[in-house]
Structure 1
Amino acid sequence: MDGREGAEGPRRDTRGIVRAPELMARVRFRRRLPAAPLRRWVEHYWLIDWDLSEPYVSHVVPHPCVNLVLERRGPADLAPESGVVAGVGTGLFTTELEGTGRVCGVQFRPGGFRPFLSPPRPLTALTGRRLELAEAFGRGQDAPSRVLRPEAEDARVAALDAFLLSLSPTADPAAERAVALAHRVRTDRTVRRVEHLAADEGVSVRTLQRLFATYVGVSPKWTILRYRVHEAVERVTHRPATDWAALAAELGYSDQAHLVRDFTAAVGTTPAAYARAVRSG
């Protein structure tokens, strides 16, 4: 080990991944921490390699964050490498994995990507979009080959570090505040309404909305709802017999029907159908 994982290490949950155990049984999935100077903006790197005998369709309920995705789909000596910056996705992300492939991804913290963006733009300009590296950074077209070709995992991580550091991100107090607020939304279950969060922070709702639009790319209300759905998906993935009425109350919903509606809209299936699929998987 190179000491990156430290005391805390990267997240170990599977929040956002639909039917996560099925995916993990088919691919080699790892998370790695970035170099220390990058951690204020980057949550983790995510590395996936696969060699499948038959195709598999993966689904993800996106986090409220930007991802840098470098990938090669096919044999190393034949398939081209490519890279995109994926803004916050508001719908279910679906991709088919087949044959062999490799992905090296960067999950930025919600609010943490704008210091890398050149020229700077509100993050709403990226929401639902996939940008070529040159459009996002003004350069970086060689990053996919530099990151994806090394066989040693540590070398790929080091290449990601080198690329991000070469972009020379600078401290931005507003970005730091957006990161902290989004982290609170994710981890503090008492945060259930935007007006309460704004009052706690001593700002107006409008100020909070502008901060999230500029630095996160989605509204604080959307962020709160998305993290509720992530918690629900994670819970039923590992406990298919979840009491949905109790979970709705725990997550701050006024009734079970509202949770069912949000879950179905994000995942594309009802909680009951999802639970049946988990049991049969």
Structure 2
Amino acid sequence: MAAARRDTRGIVDAAGLLSHVDFRRLLPTPALRPHVEHYWLIDWDLPEPYVSHVVPHPAVNIVFQRFEGQEPFVEIAGVQHGLFSQKLEGRGRVCGIKFRPGGFRPFAPHVPVTHWTGRRVRHPEQPAVLPPTDPATILTPDDEDARTAALDAFLLGPGREAPRPDPQADLAMALVDRVRTDRTIRRVTDFARAEGLSVRLLQRLFAGYVGVGPKWVILRYRIHEALERAETERAVDWARLAADLGYADQAHLVRDFTATVGVPPTAYAEAAVPTSRA
């Protein structure tokens, strides 16, 4: 049976997050799985404020949010370039739709995904992109299966049809997944050549359907793996990991990790508590 992924890639201090909130991932209805990777649900009831940090994936999210003392809202969150931080306090709930990299464009076919990159756009500003909905219909049910059904209905309900076939979207999703799973992909020129594409065509495809370039995706997945290794292993051989990830040397990995996460990998690993997969 298919199941949502359980790794902690992208979550900074995964053990800390999981000790403060109830976090889980659930699969959408089968008709949506070619485009939607999973739904993610978070509930919290905190005596003290907590700030979560995530190194975002190259994916667009639609996020329904309810924070204590605020009206619930929904927003489109494009691919975020840097570290994403969110302060959580009191009681709250989030229900998110994580699209596969390249999978959002068929739901908004007239807008290149770069339009959303680096942005968080609340639903009322984009009525032509998302069907009208009351965020409370998604956020109110306490039962997670009911919330999953509400998210399915949001994407496939009245006035909304499954996206039309888009070979370019399928290609973009396949290429990004190849980058994610194949460590030997290290250079954009070599990757483009292996796929029978020019570098220019590959870059245009990623811009229109993923929202960031192929080089950015390659680097981001490297950092995700380094972050997870620091979270789950007692002692990381950083020089060897740098070589495994395609870096010229350890210094290049340290530079990219520090620029993305905010601290050097060795310092992060010393502070991290090895955690099981989420």
Both proteins in one fold, TM over 0.5: yes
SS at match of 2:145: helix
Per the alignment, in what secondary structure is the counterpart of residue 24 of structure 2? strand
Matched, 1:82 2:73: yes
1:274 aligned residue: 268
What secondary structure is seen at the aligned counterpart in 2 of 1:96? strand
Taking the aligned partners of 2:26 and 2:273, their CA distance within structure 1 comes to: 30
User: Which residue of 117, 120, 133 corresponds with 1:142?
Assistant: 133
Q: CA deviation at 1:151?
A: 1.7
State yes or no: 1:246 paired with 2:236.
no
Give the 3 Å change call, closer, same or farther, for CA 26–274 of structure 1 in structure 2: same
1:123 aligns with 2:117: no
Cα distance, 1:137–1:72 mapped onto 2, change above 3 Å:
same
**CA spacing shift, 1:279–1:31, aligned 2, 3 Å:** closer
Question: Match of 1:128, SS?
Answer: coil
TM-superposed CA distance for 1:131, in Å, is 1.4
Residue 186 (structure 2) pairs with residue 196 (structure 1): no
Alpha-carbon contact 1:29-1:46 (below 8 Å) kept? yes
Matched with 1:4 is: none
Runs of 4+ with deviation above 3 angstroms: 134-137
Quick check: 1:10–1:44 contact (8 Å CA) kept in 2? yes
Structure 1 residue runs without a partner (length 5+): 1-6
After the TM superposition, which residues 140-179 of structure 1 pair with which residues of structure 2 at under 5 Å, given as runs? 140-166=131-157, 167-168=160-161, 169-179=163-173
Alignment partner of 1:218: what SS?
A: coil
Residues 49 and 88, structure 2, Cα contact 8 Å, conserved in 1:
yes
Give the Å deviation of 1:140.
3.5
The percentage of counterpart residues that share the same residue type is: 60
Distance in 2, Cα, partners of 1:140 & 1:202: 38
> How far is the alpha carbon of 1:152 from its aligned partner?
1.4
Query: Shift of residue 144 of structure 1?
Result: 1.2
Given the superposition, is the C-alpha separation of residues 134 and 79 from structure 1 closer, same or farther in structure 2, using an over 3 Å criterion? Answer: closer
Residues 195-241 of structure 1: CA deviation (Å, up to 9, x unaligned):
11111111101100000000000000000000000000000011142
Q: Figure out how many residues of one structure are paired with residues of the other and give that number.
A: 271
Note the C-alpha offset of 1:132: 2.1
Where in structure 2 are the equivalents of 1:26-45 lying within 5 Å? Answer: 26-45=20-39
Q: Deviations over 1:87-132 (max 9, x none)?
A: 00001000111111100001100000011116x2111111000112
Query: Which of 80, 87, 91 matches 1:100?
Result: 91
**Structure 1 CA distance for aligned equivalents of residues 273 and 39 of structure 2:** 30
Q: For 2:126 and 2:11, locate their aligned partners in 1 and report how far apart those are by CA, in whole Å.
A: 26
Residue 205 of structure 2: aligned partner:
211
Contact 1:85 1:136 in 2 (8 A): no
Tell me the TM-score normalized by structure 2.
0.94
TM-score (norm 1): 0.93
